[in-house]
Each structure stands twice: as structure tokens, then as C-alpha cells.
Amino acid sequence: MTIPQTARTLARSLTVLGSTGSVGLSTLDIVRHSRATYGEDALPLQALTAHSNVAALAQQAREFHPRLAVIGDESKFQALKEALAGTGVEVAAGRDAVIEAASRPSDIVMLAIVGTAGLAPALAAVKRGAVIALANKECIVAAGDFFRAAAAQANATIIPVDSEHNAAFQVLDPGQAHAIERLTLTASGGPFREWARERMASATPEQAISHPNWSMGAKISVDSATLMNKGLELIEAHFLFSLPPEKLGVLVHPQSVVHCLVSYIDGSTLAHLSAPDMRTPIAHAIGWPQRISSPSRRLDLAALQKLTFENADAQRFPCLGLATECLRAGGHAPTILNAANEVAVQAFLGRRIGFLDIPRVVEETLATDRNASNGETSDLDAVLAVDGRARSVAKDICRTMAA
């Protein structure tokens, strides 16, 4: 029997920004499960948005009946309109429409848009004081101080969805912040954990996106292969939990079962464990501060038999070291790092540069734009200006490498 508090939790409305990507699909699986478990009125949808996948967005809108469906690619407006004719779902298109969708009065916004494209919609949701289920690490990395200040001013609540940060959110004791000795995020090591650098030089996009444990989009899968994702997550943890760089660390944990460890000054270390299934942290974020049922895989420690840990190899995976340096440097350095990495990953996926060229592009961009790294992320225009300049530099570097 559904208890009253759970009923109130599931009556909250939800907007999913980036509904056709891997996190968006997992989010809607939680909605589907909740409606089957608690009733068809659970988690009513205010809006769904997608970048360009009209067919998938239309199918989702027909199944879940949001008030609004938005396609980011304006050229596909008519196709979406025709696909949803007669459904009663409002249709819109374009970047401004995505931002407007985030501004609509839903209780929870799942921010699953990849890259800095998610920054403006995130800020729109933040400014109205919504609960933000944050699956976009680039918002924090590129605009950490500014994003955090905007959330505080609007009394918005940020619930991290990345498995590691969601785990930290659950394990950290806010009343004992002074007693935290170290926050350790775990990394699977990606598909190339045991590869020599010589072999990685010829790695293909198909190999890079073949993650051993998680089902993720192409960009984040490549970030996992370079360990850049863990570097970005260190920066994100710094801003989310107000921890200095010296209290943050990474361990490689191939089984992807322990997601975070928090060590305290009394010698205690608390860990969060779950099966590698994104539906677990998503369900936690959507249900917070209550817990709701999830269809995610359950953890069977007896079947696993052992859990192993090892130090990350910064020599073979230099992206982790670059991100750590930018965390310590502060200012615009993380913004430049993130922008250069996005450009380099896209160039690699497009087969214009090699896998080992990704950290080279990032390093050269940081070196070229080093003076810009001293600024503060005081407003959105400043962040976007630094981001745009870094992307331009990184694209020039990629063109030179491809020539």
C-alpha cells in the first residue's frame, strides 16, 4: 500500500531535458515503473526535450503524455508537429524553446542534456527554485561558482545524478563537514584500463565507447576511456560539496560497485554500494528526500565474490592529471578544459584525430589560452565567452593535427 508521503512525492511534476539520451531513457524507465507500481498518475510530466531525435521524442510523448515536447533542431519542428497531431501535446522547437521548457513550473527538472548546451536551460530551472536532478557535469565544471551562487540565491536544490556524486550526496554528513578527511570517487578504468599507450594510439571510436560496465552516450563513454570523466567529476565534487582539492581523490575500481568513499578524521570510512545501473541514482534524485521503488539491478555481493581497487595511472591517462591541475588553478581553467575536451572528443568520434590526441588538444588549448584561466566565472556571458574562445582554439588545433 502506498504510504501518504510516497504519494505526495510521486505527485510532483517532472521535466526531462534530454529525454532521448541514455540518462533520459533511464529516467523515463523510472517514470514507467512508478506508474506501474504506484498508479498511472505518478510523476506527471511537464515537458520532454530532445536535440534532434524526432522519432524517439514523439514516441515518448505518445507514451508519457507531457504537456510540452520540444525538439532543439528547429528544422524538425514540422516533423514533430505532424507526429504528435491529435495527441494534445504542445509542440515547440529551437534553443529558446528548450530554455522555456526548463522555465515551466515543474517540481523536478532532470537535466540530461550533454555538454555546455545544458547550461542555459539549467540556469532557467535554477532561477525558479526548482529541484534540479543534475546529470550534466559540464554545468558545474564550466560555471561552478556562478552556478552555485545562482542556485543559492533562488533557493534551488541540486541533487547530483552521476553515480559517484549521488553516492557522496547520500554518504556525506553535512553536520560533520569539518571532520571529512577525504572524499574518494571511484572509476571503472574504462575499456582501456589494461592497454599500453602504444595500443591506445590505434584505438577506434567503437572500442572507446564500449564501456565494460555502464551503458552511456558516446561522449561520456569516451571521457570514461580517457579518465577525463573522473577529472571533471573531481572538479564537480569540489563545487558541489565545498571540498578543497587536497581532500579529493580517485581510485580505480573495475567492478563499479563502490561508487564513493568518505573518510573521516576518526578513522571511519563510509562507502556507498550499488549495482552499476543509472536507474538507482536517478530514482534517488527524483524521489529525494523520500525513496521510491526502482527497477534497477540489485547488488549480489556473494556473486561478485571480490571487489578490487588500484591507483589511477596518470601517465597512461594524462586527462586525469590535466583536470586535477585545472581544479587547483581555478578561475576559468576548468571552463577551458571542458570546452577543449568536448571539441577533441567530437573530433575523435569523427575520426579526425586519434585517441591519444585528445589530451594533446586539451593541453595545447590550455597552454594557448592560459591567460584567460585567471578570470572568475562571474556571469553567464563571461563563461560563454571563455568557452567559445577555447572551442575555437581547440578546433584550430584539431585541424592542424588532422592535416
Across the range 275-297, mean pLDDT stands at: 95
Shared domain check, 31 and 180: no
Shared domain check, 394 and 343: yes
pLDDT surpassing 60 at residue 226: yes
CA distances from 373 to 68, 203, 245, 357, 366 (A): 39, 31, 17, 22, 8
User: Is residue 325 assigned to a domain?
Assistant: no
Across the range 182-208, mean pLDDT stands at: 93
User: Is residue 283 assigned to a domain?
Assistant: no
User: Is residue 321 assigned to a domain?
Assistant: no
Shared domain check, 152 and 8: yes
CA distances from 202 to 44, 285, 402 (A): 47, 39, 15
Shared domain check, 133 and 89: yes
Instruction: Answer for the pair 235, 323: CB distance below 8 angstroms, yes or no.
Output: yes
Shared domain check, 205 and 304: yes
pLDDT surpassing 70 at residue 63: yes
Phi-psi region of 270 (alpha: psi -120 to 50; beta: other; left: phi over 0): beta
Shared domain check, 185 and 264: yes
User: Is residue 70 assigned to a domain?
Assistant: yes
Domain count, the chain: 3
Shared domain check, 143 and 17: yes
pLDDT classification of 49: cutoffs 50, 70, 90: very high
35 CB-side CA count, 13 A:
14
pLDDT in tens, 300-351: 999 988 999 999 998 899 999 999 999 999 888 999 999 999 999 999 999 9
Shared domain check, 143 and 35: yes
Residue 275 gets which letter from DSSP?
-
Model confidence, pTM:
0.90
Shared domain check, 296 and 183: yes
Looking at 114, 137, 161, the residue that finishes a domain is 161
Rounded-to-integer distance, Cα 234 and Cα 262, Å: 14
pLDDT in tens, 265-283: 999 999 999 999 999 999 9
User: Is residue 361 assigned to a domain?
Assistant: yes
User: Is residue 323 assigned to a domain?
Assistant: no
Q: Where are the beta strands (DSSP E) in 199-315?
A: 248-252, 258-264, 269-273, 310-311
User: Is residue 15 assigned to a domain?
Assistant: yes
CATH number of the domain where residue 11 is located:
3.40.50.720
User: Which domain covers residue 399, as residue numbers?
Assistant: 330-403
Main-chain dihedrals φ then ψ at residue 261, nearest 5 degrees = -130, 135
- Determine how many CB atoms are found less than 10 A away from the CB of residue 100: 17
Across the range 99-115, mean pLDDT stands at: 93
Instruction: Answer for the pair 398, 353: CB distance below 8 angstroms, yes or no.
Output: yes
**How is 127-175 classified by DSSP, letter by letter?**
HTT-EEEE--HHHHHHHHHHHHHHHHHHT-EEEE-SHHHHHHHHH--GG
Rounded-to-integer distance, Cα 350 and Cα 352, Å: 6
Residue 83, SS3? Answer: helix
Shared domain check, 271 and 154: no
Looking at 108, 132, 161, the residue that finishes a domain is 161
The angle subtended at Cα 57 by Cα 51 and Cα 59, nearest 5°, is: 165
pLDDT surpassing 60 at residue 2: no
pLDDT classification of 375: cutoffs 50, 70, 90: low
Shared domain check, 173 and 157: no
CATH number of the domain where residue 394 is located:
1.10.1740.10
User: Is residue 354 assigned to a domain?
Assistant: yes
Shared domain check, 245 and 376: no
